Amino acid sequence: MPAFSLDPAQTAWCAELRTLAAEQLRPLAEKGEPGHVNRALVAELGRLGLLERLFTSGAVDLCLMRESLAYACTEAETALALQGLGAHPVHAHGTPAQRDRWLPRVAEGTAVAAFALSEPAAGSDAAALELRAEREEAGAGPARWRLTGEKCWISNAPEADFYTVFARTTPGAGARGVTAFLVPADRPGLAGAALDMLSPHPIGALTFDAVPVTAADVLGEPDRGFRVAMGTLNLFRPSVGAFAVGMARAALDATLGHTAERDAFGGKLKDLQTVAHQVADMALRTEAARLMVYAAATACDEGAPDVPGRAAMAKLLATETAQHVVDKAVQLHGARALRRGHLLEHLYREVRAPRIYEGASEVQLGIIAKELYATREAAQ
């Protein structure tokens, strides 16, 4: 695979995105209420044409958007990413009627999407989900089910306008017995509650009390929903890494500025070798993570067979790197970085969750090992 580098048009676009994020999106983000969907911010992302690009661009462009927005406004990055995560299954697997109803509204920023996979007892082990889709006797008519159970840790819940929901249609079949459904938020029997989380965007729990769904709500094919989920995650995992890289680069740049200007021990903080070496290490790790993210995104766009392993590596390395870089940045800034409202105080809260969602770091290690051994066996 060729080494990744930006062409001049991409470089200019990234600079434009960082400027838009700082000047137009961040003020809207600051007016939002933590723990709630910032619909004004989502609408502005739509007005700027960024949400539409979720459905017209490849993985590399998605990563460029997420990294650039994250550098200047993590709330805007997350709002964009959650629209993509929730709506991508509709884009990739929806019927014409489903796509026509929802995708234009998602692109405009007038409908909020959510991806509902995790459950109280099925987080890392997504194939163990227990939300039941119980088939109704419909005679010769279209298939009908009732959804009963819970979802938990769902971003944008309970305020989304529709949910991509994964439910068990065949008991005891593991990953082979899961179906993806498009469930509008106003369906009878669907309720939700917000969870008080270490996150500025809403995360909630959903309860399904015999929620009616039909064949017209299925995304893809019955009992093939796990493929829908994994295909979506394989696309978005490298871009989670891009989000992490954007935060790491923001922390690194803040640290470069602080250590170059801060007086300490008769000189500048950067003059201390231990400080300079830590900053160099932060830059090294950030660039290594960035290159892995875009290598994975390029593989995804080219349809390479090793995308699951590359995506897992990219998410793992980038999120762990960002945690390390932001932590080092806080340490080098000292107490000022812990003050509410400081960039690094914000990043310190933001950087923790990506090591867990869309597959915790330990899950990524398992995927990588599985792919390595599968490749070895295929070669024998």
Averaged over 323-349, what is the pLDDT? 96
Domain boundaries, the chain: 8-108, 115-223, 227-379
The secondary structure of the chain in percent helix, strand, coil, rounded to multiples of 5, reads: 60, 15, 25
Averaged over 244-251, what is the pLDDT? 98
> What gap in Å lies between CA 377 and CA 380, rounded to an integer?
5
> What gap in Å lies between CA 25 and CA 42, rounded to an integer?
9
pLDDT(2) > 50: no
Residues 128-161 pLDDT 10s:
888 999 988 766 677 899 999 999 999 999 999 9
Catalytic residue among 358, 362, 371, 377: 358
Contacts of 53 (CB under 8 A, 6+ apart): 61, 65
> What gap in Å lies between CA 165 and CA 219, rounded to an integer?
9
> What gap in Å lies between CA 194 and CA 204, rounded to an integer?
4
**Maximum mean pLDDT: which of 26-35, 56-65, 325-334, 353-362:** 325-334
Local confidence band at 118 (pLDDT 50, 70, 90 cut-offs): very high
Q: How far is CA 222 from CA 173, 190, 215, 294, 310, in A?
A: 13, 21, 9, 33, 28
Residues 269-295 pLDDT 10s:
999 999 999 999 999 999 999 999 999
Query: Superfamily for 227-379?
Result: Butyryl-CoA Dehydrogenase, subunit A, domain 3 (1.20.140.10)
**pTM assigned to the model:** 0.92
pLDDT(36) > 70: yes
> What gap in Å lies between CA 55 and CA 62, rounded to an integer?
10
Q: Dihedral, CA atoms, 128, 133, 134, 136, nearest 10 degrees?
A: -160
- CATH class in words for 8-108: mainly alpha
pLDDT(1) > 50: no
Burial of 69 (0-12, 13-18, 19+ CB in 10 A): buried
CA proximity to 116, closest of 146, 82, 155: 155
pLDDT(3) > 60: no
At residue 113, what are phi and psi to the nearest 5 degrees?
-105, 160
Averaged over 190-198, what is the pLDDT? 93
> What gap in Å lies between CA 254 and CA 245, rounded to an integer?
14
Q: Is 36 helix (H, G, I), strand (E, B) or coil?
A: coil
| Residue 130 falls in the annotated catalytic set | no
What is the residue-averaged pLDDT of the chain?
93
DSSP 101: H
Residues 39-51 pLDDT 10s:
999 999 999 999 9
Local confidence band at 355 (pLDDT 50, 70, 90 cut-offs): very high
> What gap in Å lies between CA 207 and CA 217, rounded to an integer?
18
Q: What CATH number has the domain spanning 115-223?
A: 2.40.110.10
